[in-house]
Amino acid sequence: MEQRQESASNQAQPQGKADAKLNRREFFRTAGRGLGACLLAGISGRWLWMRVKDDPGFSPQTVWKIDPGLCVQCGQCATACVRTPSAVKAFNDENLCSNCVVCYGHIRNHGAPSPEIDRQPKVCPQNAVTRIPFAGGMDGYYLYRIDEEKCVGCGLCVQECNHRGSQSMFLMIRPDLCLGCNECAIARVCPQQAISRMEGSQLAAAQG
Amino acid sequence: MSGDLPAVQPPCGVIRSRLAAVPPSAGAARDGGVSHGQPRNRMRVAGRFSSLCLLAFLAAGEAAVSGAEADTATPPPQQNNERAPSAAYSHEPDCRTVQGHAATGNAAQEERPEEKMREYKDAYHAPVRVVFRGDTGAYLDIVMLLAALGSGLFLTLRGMATRALVVQLIACLAYFGFVRGGCVCPIGAMSNALAALTTPEVLGLTMLVFLVAPLAVALVAGRVFCGTVCPLGAWQQLVWRLGKPLRLPQWAHRLIRLCPLAMTAAVVWSAWKKDEPLICRADPFVPSFRAARSGLQSLANRLANRLANGFDEPGWVFAGDATTWLVFGVTLLICFFIALPFCRFVCPYGVLLGIFSLVASRRRSVDQDRCVQCGACAKVCPTGAIGPDKGHAFQVSMAACVQCGRCTGCCPTAAISCPKAR
């Protein structure tokens, strides 16, 4: 519209070459603007269409996760994270834990008698794995809890538990501690490519 | 703090001698350091109002985050894996688990009295977590970006007062840098958008908006995002405004403009071939953002825990190592002497914004009838965007201009308009 008005005024008062040049420049600018707007609308539209089509309950953000099947507990998670201490923590899944009297993720000297176990040298260098006698008796159940304040995510307990024990321990990127860097520093050094991005909605779905 | 900064650059002696030819109305506008044709007081009030609005938004955002604290007393999010660790944080599912064991296991069922369970329940406090970036945080980021862009656009189009601009920059640095932690910024979102061509799930809605919204604004009034919103730009601009920038010749500015083109090519190649956001590694300011966000988060967690459970979370969280902090320090030092080094030497998003700005509908331009060719604007321009062309007429390059508004403020004849429609 603006373009037409300008050209009309130019026809009414022809100013010569300079105005024609200006006019052409204006035309290119308008065309470029339209092109740019179309490009942006296209990108956004395609993205939205794809999301709405694929899964209706999408989340606005993506988060980082560790695939426990790929993880080999190399220990990089403890050092590579941009945070100190790392956002990666070890957890013990109570559903899988056998509640053993002697835990491979807890102590190294597996022959120690039960009352002596708390005084044995621990697997965890931070002494984050604690043994909680639940039933009270000598041969009762024991809960193993990993203190998340002490845990640095080195994965030594996870390694022991996965190689010899009931494979109930695993490493996890705590979503509330993760800074959500666009390029995860741990993913960059992970030898197994076990760390990947996923949609936040999947995280919410996994929580139930 | 912002009051220390000079509102206008004092014109040099040559200009003063030419001022006799300037119409008095222009002289009055010059004193205000704002665009011509706008009353000084109205501008100040408008600037103050918009910065107040922004601050109010910021406060509201922080209030929303801290309001979310109370809600997050419930167990925080869990990781998605096939083992579904339901009992990692809270004791309630935990106890259910134990009861499940008791029902199925045949050993020592009667040895677990109820008081033991209650004791265990009482002994375990689920720690309170403040999640800064839940879905709510992501939507808040989007709202804040649009608000900041709107406020920046307003300041740019109305001929910004320096003080209002500095307030806006500090607010944006505080929110997008320190509270939000810097990631994902539009610069990094470029890589994600490219990587999303093959793996669409890496591009979230926040990233999309952070990529597209500044470009859309660039179609209207040029690189408003660079000059008023970008937290990286804010660091550089704030240091530049305090600093003693060296004056580079025009050919040096032109040469510098080629550097980010190479960087853009590298970023595109890296995202395309290796699926990596290369630019995130070249960001020198990010340790400050991460450290600030970690610190704020740690503080919030401590407060929340103290209120809810009566104990503190021990320790303090840091981010970044010695190298990144050294790079950050050196970059700030460079900013003191060379204006906007990251924007001009590295930033690939600036190139993209520059391309979109070339066709912007509202353009900053020099009124050739008023211009006395004193060159004061070229001296204060941080990016060398303004200078004489072949015919010795001063022109503004919209691709390089970051809309800082300094030329408009310093022009003795008020010949440089703020961006306006043709």
A93 with A162: CB under 8 angstroms? no
Q: Do A172 and B79 touch (CB under 8 A)?
A: yes
Contact flag A33-B360 (C-beta cutoff 8 Å):
yes
Determine, for residues A93 and B191 on separate chains, whether the beta-carbon distance falls below 8 Å.
Answer: no
Q: Which residues of A fall within a CB distance of 8 Å from B138?
A: 59-61, 200
Residue predicted with more confidence, B147 or B104: B147
Answer whether A185's CB lies under 8 Å from A81's CB.
yes
| Residue B313 C-alpha, separation from nearest chain A C-alpha, in angstroms | 8
Q: Does residue B290 sit at the A interface (CB-CB below 8 Å)?
A: yes
- Identify the top-confidence range among A57-66, B86-95, B185-194: B185-194
Mean pLDDT of B37-50: 56
- A47–B203: do the CB atoms touch at under 8 Å? yes
State residue B249's pLDDT score. 83
CB contact under 8 A, B219 and A93: no
CB contact under 8 A, A93 and B85: yes
Enumerate the residues of chain A whose CB falls inside 8 A of the CB of residue B204: 59-62, 199-200
The beta-carbon neighbor of A202 closest among B80, B127, B137 is: B80
Whether A76 contacts A191, CB under 8 Å: yes
Show residues of chain A in contact with B83, CB under 8 Å.
Answer: 68, 93, 95-96, 170
User: Which ranges of B196-274 does DSSP label H, i.e. alpha helix?
Assistant: 205-221, 224-228, 231-242, 250-256, 259-269
Enumerate residues 210 to 249 of chain B having a beta carbon within 8 A of any beta carbon in chain A: 211-212, 215-216, 219
Task: Specify the higher pLDDT residue, B386 or B84.
Answer: B386
Of B82, B108, B138, the CB nearest to A60: B138
- Which ranges in B113-229 belong to alpha helices (H)? 114-123, 135-157, 162-172, 186-195, 205-221, 224-228
CB B364 within 8 A of CB B396: yes
Taking an 8 Å cut-off on Cβ atoms, the answer to whether B112 and A135 are in contact is: yes
| Residues in A touching B73 (Cβ below 8 Å) | none
Name the pLDDT band for B3 (thresholds 50, 70, 90).
very low
pLDDT for the residue B129: 57
- The span from the CA of B224 to the CA of B217, in Å, is 7
Instruction: Provide the 10 A C-beta neighbour count for residue B259.
Output: 15
Residues of chain A with pLDDT under 70: 1-18, 54-58, 135-139, 201-208
User: pLDDT-based confidence at B60, cuts 50/70/90?
Assistant: low
Cβ-Cβ contacts under 8 Å, A196 against chain B: none
For chain A, say whether B360 makes contact (Cβ under 8 Å): yes
B233, B353 in Cβ contact below 8 A?
no
Radius of gyration of chain B measured on its C-alpha atoms: 27
pLDDT digits (tens, 9 = 90+) for B335-368: 999 889 999 899 999 999 999 999 998 888 888 8
Q: What confidence score (pLDDT) does residue A34 get?
A: 92
Q: Taking CB atoms and an 8 Å cutoff, what residues of chain B touch A176? A: 72, 76-77, 129-132
Give me the mean pLDDT over the B297-316 stretch: 70
For residue B355, give Cα distances in angstroms to B264, B315, B359.
12, 47, 8
Q: Is the pLDDT of residue B250 over 60?
A: yes
Is the model's pLDDT at B111 over the cut of 50?
A: no
Q: How far is B192 from chain A (nearest CA, A)?
A: 8
In B131-170, the residues whose Cβ lies within 8 Å of chain A are 131-133, 135, 137-139, 142
B211-220 pLDDT, tens digit per residue, is 999 999 999 9
- Look at residues B329, B328, B332, B318 and name the one whose alpha carbon lies nearest to residue B290: B318
DSSP state letter for A118: G
Query: CB–CB of A183 and B315 under 8 A?
Result: no
The pLDDT score that the predictor gives to residue A142 is: 84
pLDDT interval class at B190 (50, 70, 90): confident
pLDDT confidence band for B193 (50 / 70 / 90): confident
Run of H or E including B377: helix B376-380
CB pairs under 8 A between A and B: 207
Q: Is B90 exposed, middle or buried (0-12, 13-18, 19+ CB in 10 A)?
A: middle
A128 CA to chain B: closest CA distance, Å?
14
Lowest mean pLDDT among A66-70, B55-59, B300-304, B395-399: B55-59
Q: What pLDDT, on the 0 to 100 scale, is given for residue A1?
A: 42
Partners of A38 in the β-ladder: none
Could you tell me which of B294, B326, B339 has the C-alpha nearest to residue A178? Answer: B294
Contact B8, B410 (CB under 8 A): yes
Amino acid code (one letter) for B390 = K
Reported pTM: 0.72
Q: What is the pLDDT at residue B371?
A: 87
Please, which residues 79-108 of chain B have a Cβ atom closer than 8 Å to chain A? Answer: 79-88, 94, 97-98, 101, 105, 107-108
C-alpha to C-alpha distance for B420 and B422, rounded to whole angstroms: 6
Overall average pLDDT of the B27-34 stretch: 38
Is the pLDDT score of B168 beyond 90?
A: yes
Instruction: Over range B163-175, report the average pLDDT.
Output: 93
Q: pLDDT tens-digit profile of B143-154?
A: 999 999 999 999
DSSP structure class, residue B281: G
Amino acid at A80: A
B126 at interface of A, judged by CB pairs closer than 8 A: no
Q: In this structure, are residues B418 and B221 in contact, taking their beta carbons and an 8 Å threshold?
A: no
Amino acid B91: pLDDT: 35
Question: Confidence class of residue B408 from pLDDT cuts 50, 70 and 90?
Answer: confident
Report the distance separating Cα B333 and Cα B293, nearest Å.
Answer: 23
Residue for token digits 């043709």? B422
Does B263 have pLDDT greater than 60? yes
Whether B224 contacts B391, CB under 8 Å: no
Helices (H), chain A: 2-12, 17-54, 76-80, 156-164, 185-189, 200-207
The H or E element spanning position A133 is strand A129-133
Regarding predicted confidence, which is higher, B377 or B30? B377
pLDDT of residue B352: 92
- Amino acid B41: pLDDT: 60
The tokens for B257 are 């403009």
For A108, residues 6+ apart whose C-beta sits below 8 A from its C-beta are A120, A121, A122, A123
Q: Determine which of A52-56, B50-54, B239-243, B326-330 has the lowest per-residue pLDDT on average.
A: B50-54
The band of B70, judged by pLDDT with boundaries at 50, 70 and 90, is very low
Which 3 state secondary structure label does DSSP give B315? coil
Whole-number average pLDDT of chain B: 73
Distance of CA B263 to the CA centre of its chain: 20
| Closest CA relative to residue B362, chosen from B404, B418, B416, B405 | B418
**Min CA distance, B408 vs chain A (Å)?**
23
Tell me if chain A has a CB within 8 Å of the CB of B71.
no
pLDDT for B131 equals: 59
- The Cα of B43 is separated from the nearest Cα of chain A by a number of Å equal to 29
Given a cut of 90, is residue B331 above it in pLDDT?
yes
| Percent over 70 (pLDDT), chain B | 65
Decide: B405 and B418 in contact? Cβ < 8 Å: yes
Q: How far apart are CA B418 and CA B406, in angstroms?
A: 10
B201 token code pair = 């799930």
Which residue in B has a C-alpha nearest to residue A44's C-alpha? Answer: B208
The stretch B328-334 carries a mean pLDDT of 93
Q: Which of B86, B139, B359 comes nearest A36 by C-beta?
A: B359
pLDDT greater than 50 at residue B18: no
Q: What is the pLDDT of residue A179?
A: 85
Asked if A183 and B280 come within 8 Å (Cβ–Cβ), the reply is yes
Task: Name the residue in chain B with its Cα closest to that of A92.
Answer: B88
Of A33, A134, A179, the CB nearest to B181: A179
Q: Given phi > 0 = left and psi -120 to 50 = alpha, else beta, which region is A30? A: alpha
**CA trace torsion B169, B171, B173, B176 (10° rounding):** -130
- State how beta strands B386-388 and B318-319 pair: unpaired
Query: Which ipTM score applies to this complex?
Result: 0.75
Whether A182 sits inside 8 A of B88 (CB atoms) is: no
Q: Are the Cβ atoms of A95 and B135 closer than 8 angstroms? A: no
Cis peptide before A85 (omega within 30 of 0): yes
pLDDT given for residue B176 in this prediction: 92
The confidence score (pLDDT) of residue B128 equals: 54
Given CB atoms, is B205 within the 8 Å cutoff of chain A?
yes
